Amino acid sequence: MTAFSFVFLFLLGATVTLGLIVLWKGFPRVSPSAPLGVLRIALILLLIMSVVALALTGYPAAFQHKAIAGYMLMLHVMLAGPFLFALAAISVLFLNRVYNPDHSASADLSPLTIVNFWILTGTGAATGITMLLAMTPLFGTDGQHALVATHRFISLFAAFSAALFAVCLFSDVRSRQNQTMESNPNKETV
């Protein structure tokens, strides 16, 4: 087993484990009067499902050390669209909560969630950009091979940071809801 295969298996296992933790802890309760809350949770679920599906379709390439081909390639490319859409939408919806100079809106997010947000945004964008650039003849054959190898490594970290971001975010929302319930048990949480 090569070092790359070991790292891939470790990060894939960690991603699936973190996804199971999210399911075990349960999803945060969102009131119907909070449409952005429902949208955020839907986008995070879309992101996690597309990351797991992309990892599973990209799995053979990591161990066979050859390009994905045929239907597996078409499925992998088709699943990249929802991943990049969810990543862009999450970035826009969470940016006002993460980067706030007066820190009033970001008080409910832990530092680990904020750091994971930036890691996820950076690695997710780099994953998409490296593959898009590899599809063009701008860098020549050797450059395309280097971009595909870079895509493989960066995608591992993007998958892991997506799962960790979801777990941290749901944990932050749960702790905020618990604090709200303790301070005012008769009020519905948002």
Q: Residue written as tokens 């996690």?
A: 48
User: What is the pLDDT at residue 130?
Assistant: 92
Task: Give tens-digit pLDDT for 159-177.
Answer: 888 878 877 877 777 776 6
| Integer Cα distance of 45 and 157 in angstroms | 18
Lowest mean pLDDT among 11-20, 73-82, 91-100: 11-20
> How confident is the prediction for the chain on average, in pLDDT?
75
Spell out the residues 6+ positions from residue 99 whose beta carbon is closer than 8 angstroms to its own.
106
Nearest to 19 by CA among 178, 173, 117, 159: 159
Give the amino acid at 10.
F
Q: For residue 142, is pLDDT > 90?
A: yes
Q: For residue 49, is pLDDT > 60?
A: yes
Give the amino acid at 14.
A
More confident residue, 99 or 55: 55
Q: Residue written as tokens 């895509």?
A: 151
Task: Give tens-digit pLDDT for 83-136.
Answer: 899 888 888 877 766 665 555 555 567 888 888 888 988 999 999 999 899 989
Centroid of chain to Cα 83:
8
Give the amino acid at 43.
L
Are the beta carbons of 91 and 38 closer than 8 angstroms?
no
Q: For residue 53, is pLDDT > 90?
A: no
User: What is the pLDDT at residue 190?
Assistant: 44
Are the beta carbons of 93 and 43 closer than 8 angstroms?
yes
> Which segment, 20-34, 38-52, 171-185, is predicted with the most confidence on average?
38-52
Instruction: Give, to the nearest 10 degrees, the angle between helix 111-134 and helix 70-98.
Output: 140
User: What is the pLDDT at residue 179?
Assistant: 67
User: What is the pLDDT at residue 123?
Assistant: 92
Element (H, E) at 39: helix 35-64
User: What is the pLDDT at residue 171?
Assistant: 77
Q: Supply the Cα-derived Rg of the chain in whole angstroms.
A: 18
More confident residue, 120 or 17: 120
**What pTM, to 2 d.p., does this model score?**
0.70
